[in-house]
Structure 1
Amino acid sequence: MTGAAFGRELRRRRTQQGLTLGELAELVHYSRSHLSKVENGHKSPSAQLSRKCDAVLSAGGALHALAPADTPPERDTGPAPEAPGYTHAHWNLRLYSDGSGIFEIGEAGAPAVTEVPQPAPTSTDTLPGLAVLFEETKRLGRTSSPSLVLPMAITQAHVAASSARQSTGEDQRRLLRHAARTAEFAGWMAQECGDDRGSLWWTDRAVMLASAAGDEDMTSYALVRRAVVSLYRGDSSATTGPTEQVLADDAIHPRIRWLAALGAAQGYAIGLDHAGAMRALDTAASLFDQAQRLEGDEQLGPSAMHGRPLLIEAWCQYDLGNLAAAAALFERAMSRPLPSDRDHARFGTRRALVYAALGEPDRASELIGPLLDVVRSVDSATIRADLRDFARTITRFRGHRGTHDIQAALMAALAKR
């Protein structure tokens, strides 16, 4: 779909409401010349602009639906340059279902450097050690590149599943449940690496392992995880469908339903359904107290709950085109430090984007500048998606000193690894 249909409908709705092109430009914080090109079909609107125009003209999503879909950037699948000091480009670790494996250097099928024998039956002391390793891996996941963490999570999921096969009874059930949690975490790290297909594969693997342990919470949570993948693809219906399915079942754990409500709110927001988004946020608020009381030590979803509903509401307001409301909510939510570098980078980038969209480039640059080293460190594909939106928005203000000062660091943070 081209932008011609959007441009025609934009002009029709603008003139119907008695707005000049200049007046609309002031309301959406874009230049008059840019809007003229969009109306004439010479330039396609960004998703951000189409949402703003839809909100300002009270189109209820009908205008935004005519906008061409944003084309996601292609991933660089070429080989990375070999690091100094390494003489072999390929390290292969082959893991088998019985717990054995081989480690090879070079192309697949090269002579094994190390062979891992099949383990002996697992002792009851295995799980505590695996749990400690997993907690440290999750801690790394909050501060480091997912490319560093994903291989650890995959290996731990394999070790826990293999240990379960060597166990029986309650020990086996607990090991399978732990394997499911590590597989789900691997799926999240895969998504952070920009690999949606791998993310969904690991999520399905987590469901299989959890079901074998008699734990059905993971099946429900997997619907929420799938919805999150759809959310980052900009697919409103594929986000709200699974989350509403979870919300409709009162037997599902309240923490999972709370996460589903927050996901549903974001799904409705990208579909410009204000009523749906507010209703889902109200549902999340009603579930919050129950959601804090998760039975057992293992949690599904983010470890930090406080402050998250306000941050999600702020982002919903941005997607709905209510920029001033979004800015005010971000200021409230980020008045105290966030619990992890990854959250700081994610929501800090979104706050800066709101100010750029508001036409306040100096404030936006002031906010994004100190974050760019953190964004590079956590190396998240989902955060870079928001940062690309920021970069596209801030280019409208090239003449500002603050915008000029952050350009080099901004390009470095956006560069593919």
Structure 2
Amino acid sequence: MSEAWRALGQQLAVYRKAAGHTQHSLAPIVFTGRSTIANTEVGRQHPERAFRGRCDEILNTDGALTAGYDQVIAVRQKYRRARGTAAFTTALTATGTALVTDTGGQLAGEADIVTAVEDGRGQQVLVSRRALLQAVPGGVVASLAGAEPLVAATRAAQVDPAVVEHFAVLRSVLVESDNRVGAAAILPTARQQLGHIADYRRAARGSLRDALLSAEARWAEFAGWLSDDLGDRDAGEWWLAQALTMAQEAGAMEFTAYVFARMAQRAVDAADQDRVLGLARAAERAGSAQEQVRAFAAVQRAHGHTVEGDAGSFRAAIDEAHHLAAATRTDGGGLGAFCTTAYISAQGGEGWLRLGRASAAVRCFDEALDAWPEAYRRERGRYLARTAAAHAAAADEPELAAAAALAALNLATLTRSARIRREVVIAGRQLTAFPTQPGVQQLHAALAASAATL
């Protein structure tokens, strides 16, 4: 849990700095001391929810800090319930009683109902949660709250299966933080957690080891995404290759399909563009059952057709992706959840831009941005930069191009995204033919100022 608190603290620090506050200036406004702000930002102190709400209001975060606090508390509560069940299991085992099932600890107050089997007979037992937590000697069940990484010699029996869900929920917290504050604040934590997962995985056996390996694959893909956003494509490629190997070893075919599609996505902007179509087809051969993963693979196949200059096949693949995304049966979460109709419209814009159809690209980007969630600021910045490039390619809309590029640059600065800034620079170069336009002059001045701060 310490890493989750630190990540939440880093998020506060980023918002504070973006709002132009020091720790000294923020403290009295949110009715606390400077030391509380400092300790919270490094994860050493965990102020109550009301404190987060005051910070959200003053820093204009749209509730991000309160939402992050709620997520961390939910992780802690889930883990404590799971640890209590594991503790009771150990205690029963020591007396010859086997725990069969846990009905979830959904009763009011401090009690859980568990079903135990002793001498072949089942019996429901009402047990206080405190008794569950105290039923086992320290160290038998690994604690996530401040736990040190496991060493290779740790016995498999000491790995609590609850750590798999813990890492999944923690990753979701960091993904949300990445959307708001950028990769630079998140990547160090992601790398550290990958080390912890590997320690648990080395100590585990059987299906638990495979589950941890699958979790490690997802974290590796996440680290690759963060590295790419920071402009370190070599690291991004390495992490993605690790993710593919781990997913295949763990038998996680859904995630294998997704990683192949991610590889195709990266190849679009790389020297080996000829691989885009092959990697997209490899994703489709992996046979995902999830519509949004299949839609993501279809989008990459569409981009592969643009590399070949095949506009008809590109349009057909984008239409297929739209159909799959519209037919999705998920609730908006899970693998490939980002592949919505708005995302596919944005990808359609990228494809038409690559095919030299600037006006069609502008229409697609506008359609995507109209429906884009405000919380996903970094991706909004990326597509604003692409919109600027499309307007610039149209050659008769330099002011619209400059306005979109400036908006993208502001988001690049806020999220510290090297990828967005790089695309804004490209759009700025396209606009050098319009040196007297006021918006273009403002864009070039902003780019020069941002370069001076790097």
- TM-score of the two chains, using structure 1 as the length reference: 0.65
Assess if the C-alpha contact under 8 Å between 1:375 and 1:413 holds in 2: no
Distance in 2, matches of 1:232 and 1:364, equals 22
For residue 390 of structure 2, the aligned residue among 349, 354, 363 is: 354
- 1:343 Cα deviation after fit: 1.1
Assess if the C-alpha contact under 8 Å between 1:258 and 1:291 holds in 2: no
Query: Would the alpha carbon gap of residues 321 and 400 (structure 1) be closer, same or farther in structure 2, given more than 3 Å must change?
Result: same
Question: 5 Å matches for 1:135-146?
Answer: 135-146=172-183
Q: What percentage of aligned pairs have identical amino acids? A: 25
Query: Would the alpha carbon gap of residues 117 and 165 (structure 1) be closer, same or farther in structure 2, given more than 3 Å must change?
Result: closer
Which amino acid in 2 is paired with 1:155? Q
Q: CA RMSD in A?
A: 2.7
| SS of residue matched to 1:307 | helix
Q: Which has the higher helix share?
A: 2
Matching residue of 2:159 = 122
Query: Would the alpha carbon gap of residues 150 and 358 (structure 1) be closer, same or farther in structure 2, given more than 3 Å must change?
Result: same
Distance in 2, matches of 1:164 and 1:245, equals 28
Matching residue of 1:39 = none
Matching residue of 1:387 = 424
CA-to-aligned-CA distance 1:59-86 (integer Å, 9 cap, x gap):
xxxxxxxxxxxxxxxxxxxxxxxxxxxx
Matching residue of 2:241 = 204
Matching residue of 1:334 = 369
Corresponding pairs, count: 301
Query: Would the alpha carbon gap of residues 249 and 332 (structure 1) be closer, same or farther in structure 2, given more than 3 Å must change?
Result: same
Query: Would the alpha carbon gap of residues 133 and 364 (structure 1) be closer, same or farther in structure 2, given more than 3 Å must change?
Result: same
- 1:390 Cα deviation after fit: 0.2
Matching residue of 2:381 = 345
Matching residue of 1:99 = none
Structure showing greater radius of gyration is 2
CA-to-aligned-CA distance 1:16-53 (integer Å, 9 cap, x gap):
xxxxxxxxxxxxxxxxxxxxxxxxxxxxxxxxxxxxxx
| SS of residue matched to 1:143 | helix
For residue 203 of structure 2, the aligned residue among 162, 166, 179 is: 166
Which amino acid in 2 is paired with 1:344? R
Which amino acid in 1 is paired with 2:231? G
Matching residue of 1:375 = 412
1:240 aligns with 2:277: yes
Assess if the C-alpha contact under 8 Å between 2:257 and 2:284 holds in 1: no
Question: 5 Å matches for 1:286-325?
Answer: 286-289=323-326, 291-293=328-330, 298-299=334-335, 301=336, 303=338, 305-325=340-360
- 1:252 Cα deviation after fit: 6.0
Question: 5 Å matches for 1:75-90?
Answer: none
| SS of residue matched to 1:334 | helix
Matching residue of 2:256 = 219
Query: Would the alpha carbon gap of residues 366 and 195 (structure 1) be closer, same or farther in structure 2, given more than 3 Å must change?
Result: closer
Distance in 2, matches of 1:328 and 1:389, equals 20
Query: Would the alpha carbon gap of residues 204 and 131 (structure 1) be closer, same or farther in structure 2, given more than 3 Å must change?
Result: same
Matching residue of 2:223 = 186
Matching residue of 1:363 = 400
| SS of residue matched to 2:181 | coil
- 1:302 Cα deviation after fit: 5.4
Query: Would the alpha carbon gap of residues 216 and 294 (structure 1) be closer, same or farther in structure 2, given more than 3 Å must change?
Result: farther
Query: Would the alpha carbon gap of residues 232 and 382 (structure 1) be closer, same or farther in structure 2, given more than 3 Å must change?
Result: farther
- TM-score of the two chains, using structure 2 as the length reference: 0.60
- 1:294 Cα deviation after fit: 8.5
* Residue segments in structure 1 that go unaligned for 5+ positions in a row: 1-114
Matching residue of 1:177 = 214
- 1:137 Cα deviation after fit: 1.4
